[in-house]
Chains A and B, each alone.
Chain A
Amino acid sequence: MTPGGPPLKRRALLVGGAAVLAGGGAALGAGLAARDDPVAAAPASFGAETVPFHGDHQPGIETHPVQAHAAFVALDLRPGSGTADVRRLLRLLTDDAERLMAGRVPLGAADPELPARPARLTVTVGFGPGLFDAIGRPDQCPPIIRQLPEFRTDRLDPRWCGGDLLLQVCSDDAVPLSYALRRLVRDARSVTTVRWTQRGFNPARGAEPEGTTPRNLMGQRDGSANPVPGTPEFEQAVWVREGPDWLVGGSMLVLRRIRMELETWDDFGRAGKEMVVARTLDTGAPVTGGLETDDVDPRMVDGRGIPIAAARSHVLQATARTEGEKMFRRGYSFDDGPTTDGLPDAGLLFAAYQADIATAFVPVQTRLAESDLLNEWITHIGSATFAVPRGARPGEFIGQGLLGT
């Protein structure tokens, strides 16, 4: 099943408070019906849903709505690895991904129950600078992947940075995800070591009407202004259109580990929280009015002539000011706390796909680092960038155009 069209239509229906209320009413109705006829009202199970592996684009980017669970694993090639090793690695990962996403075991595995209900499992592969160097093709690495600028507010810990190869594994169910990850890494082990692993989550599937923008751990709807998968705006923002064949139809990924200072945020007043972001906490609508899908209006003033949305508010600074600045955020919350002192250790795995990091993430993050009011409560502590090859066609392995057969 492709998670494409229907959810989008439903999302269009579900924006705005009244529509959400209607959705709640429908759910209530289903609950009542369940008491009368438990069989007829049993919720449809999503465990068997699959996402196609082959296509123009890799899965796990436009897969919509974003799955509930994710693991990002950065691998480093073992010293001395060359083109033949990377080719073997990608052949194995491709074969595993194809089977696991279809709900089947990898070759040689004998536990069909574990992957049988993949719940929209996706495996996405990205290439870091070290991979291009190892195969003797450094020229093929987009310069911005090799050298992301430092931003003023960065407090990067090498523990969460870099990587020669990225595996992004997502699913609506943490169990098939765990199985897929262990089988993929098992097959990668002879050629790579694990550099870091970051796990993230979004609200459980079905907890809110499908298509609802996920809430992050600060309580905000996160991704309200995202381009919608399947639209020309999305295609324009996300897919690489010019360059080598292996990259055209691919994308670029920035993954930032953003720690949230939730202790102080929690004690900050609600009005202040909404002022900092310029969107309301409950619906995600602009503080200047309208629906969640509307933009914040920077010109709107109150009775005393003071702008309602602060100029340095997060949304006003983050909003794309050119077409080139648009990107698709596919973020996940992380929570590795509490610490021994009982403090939160949590935040956001900011994962943004874009056609060109140099024209999108870089100018936007430069602006945010300079003036975002939210900086008092967030700190970027990890950073990694990857070139994401186009999708594999049947019979191809991921990145085959770069590696050759």
Chain B
Amino acid sequence: MTSFPVRLALLGVGLAAATTLVGCGGSASSATPPPATAAVAQTAALTVTDAWVKAADGGMTAVYGTLTATSAPVTVASASSSVSGRTELHEVVESGGAMVMRQKEGGFVVQPGSPHTLAPGGDHIMLMDLTAPVRAGDQVEVTLTLGDGSTVAFTALAKEVSAGEEKYEDGEMSGHESGSHG
């Protein structure tokens, strides 16, 4: 098998793309307009599709989508975004009869052939200390840092939904229980 060198080469492409993004300063008015529709980020190791973010006036919100590892297991170690002071990788677990969210130890591990879905009520990327309101139709730039230090950038479209309002484990809350409406 020659998958190892091939993967390295592809990773190089991914890093180049990330560098370009940094070069644009993260501005929304870069020369290449961001995709109007749900952004699809492509790198060698990981793709992100159907990305969206829940609209919020302030405080915190979450990013959802589908992570697909293209050739080998990929670990998403951390994330950052254009609108959050702090960004965490979260899971939702049952605790004391309620669904609560907490940081996911070790990040998201994505296996090839088994897309990892980030969805209300499950794993998600938590945007905290929002620096600006996220209004429906806004585009939020998100960057994932993988276990090997490379990055994957994508754009999430903001949508207004009432799902995904689980309690925060340490007592903070992003809203009311969504109950069965999620």
Contact = CB atoms under 8 A, between A and B. Distances in A.
A107 B139 contact: no
Given A107-B38, A405-B28, A405-B34, A91 B139 contact: yes
B137 interface: yes
Interface in B11-37: 28-29, 33-37
Given A108-B64, A395-B37, A91 B160 contact: no
Interface in A358-405: 392, 395-397, 400, 405
A170 interface: no
B169 interface: no
Interface stretch (A92-100, A318-326, A337-345): A92-100
Interface in B27-82: 28-29, 33-38, 50-52, 54, 64
Contacts of A205: none
A405 B34 CA distance: 8
A197 interface: no
Interface string A160-202: 0000000000000000000000000011001100000000000
A87 interface: yes
B159 interface: yes
Among A92, A187, A397, A400, the one with the most B-chain Cβ atoms within 10 Å of its Cβ is: A92
A11 interface: no
Interface string A128-153: 00000000000000000000000000
B37 A94 contact: yes
B50 A107 contact: yes
Contacts of A190: 135-136, 160
B5 to A, nearest CB: 32
Contacts of A98: 37
B35 A107 contact: no
A396 B29 CA distance: 14
Greatest chain B CB density within 10 A among A89, A106, A107, A392 is at A107
A241 interface: no
Interface residues of B, number: 27
B36 A95 contact: yes
Interface in A68-102: 87-92, 94-95, 98
A187 B160 contact: yes
Given A88-B135, A88-B136, A88-B137, A397 B36 contact: yes
B29 A405 contact: yes
Contact of B52 (A87, A108, A400): A108
Given A88-B135, A92-B137, A400 B36 contact: yes
Interface string B145-182: 00000000000011111010000000000000000001
A281 B29 CA distance: 59
A98 B52 CA distance: 15
B141 interface: no
A13 B138 CA distance: 50
B64 A397 contact: no
Given A107-B157, A190-B160, A94 B138 contact: no
Given A107-B50, A108-B64, A87 B38 contact: no
Nearest to B52: A107
A160 B138 CA distance: 32
Contacts of B35: 395
B137 A91 contact: yes
Contact of B37 (A89, A95, A110, A405): A95
A106 B29 CA distance: 26
Contacts of A91: 36-37, 137, 139, 157
Interface string A204-244: 00000000000000000000000000000000000000000
Given A92-B159, A107-B50, A107-B159, A405 B33 contact: yes
A95 B52 CA distance: 11
A229 to B, nearest CB: 26
A182 to B, nearest CB: 14
Contacts of A90: 137
B136 A92 contact: yes
B160 A94 contact: no
Contacts of A95: 36-38, 157
A306 to B, nearest CB: 61
14 contacts: A88-B137, A88-B158, A90-B137, A91-B36, A91-B137, A94-B37, A95-B38, A95-B157, A107-B52, A107-B159, A108-B64, A187-B137, A396-B33, A405-B33
Interface of B: 28-29, 33-38, 50-52, 54, 64, 119-120, 135-139, 157-161, 163, 182
> Nearest 8 CB-CB pairs, A to B?
A88-B137, A397-B36, A107-B52, A405-B33, A108-B159, A95-B37, A395-B35, A108-B161
Given A92-B136, A392-B36, 7 more contacts: A91-B157, A92-B159, A98-B37, A107-B159, A187-B136, A187-B159, A397-B36
